[in-house]
């Protein structure tokens, strides 16, 4: 691997898992966890350290979940990301990131 190349932080398999890797949990609320195939994703483990902005990019490229920052509430251990460093907030071992849609509604 060349310097500067980084593997996807969202790739998680039992074969790769070892004691040296550290993870945080991403939790999906409302319709944010609905995948294109109709299944629902409740949570995802991500390798850390990683910035919130990179998590959003990788969620879109790896599993097709597009999250618009202007319509998604991002909580890090219960604190809104805007109160921290927003998309530059570094997520570390044991952190929990909750992604909550700001718009709610019923079926029409």
Number of compact structural domains in the chain:
1
Rounded CA separation 106/1 (Å) = 48
pLDDT tens-place string over residues 29-43: 988 888 888 888 999
Rounded CA separation 65/56 (Å) = 8
Identify whether 75 is part of a domain.
yes
Place of tokens 């998309």: 87
Residue 4 structure tokens = 């500067």
pLDDT tens-place string over residues 10-29: 444 444 455 578 999 999 99
Rounded CA separation 84/35 (Å) = 29
* Range from 3-12, 68-77, 85-94 carrying the lowest mean pLDDT: 3-12
Identify whether 15 is part of a domain.
no
pTM of the prediction? 0.75
The domain that holds 42 is classified in CATH as: 3.10.20.30
Rounded CA separation 40/31 (Å) = 9
Residue 104 structure tokens = 């709610």
Identify whether 56 is part of a domain.
yes
Identify whether 5 is part of a domain.
no
Parent domain of 29: 23-101
């Amino acid at each position: 691997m060349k310097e500067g190349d980084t593997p996807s932080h969202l790739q998680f398999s039992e074969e790769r898992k070892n004691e040296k890797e550290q993870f945080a949990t991403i939790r999906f609320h409302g319709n944010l966890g609905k995948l294109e195939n109709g299944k629902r994703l409740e949570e995802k483990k991500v390798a850390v350290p990683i910035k919130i902005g990179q998590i959003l990019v990788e969620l879109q490229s790896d599993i097709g979940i597009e999250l618009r920052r202007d319509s998604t509430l991002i909580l890090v251990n219960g604190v809104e990301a805007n109160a921290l460093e927003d998309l530059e907030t570094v997520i570390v071992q044991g952190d929990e990131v909750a992604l909550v849609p700001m718009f709610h509604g019923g079926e029409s």
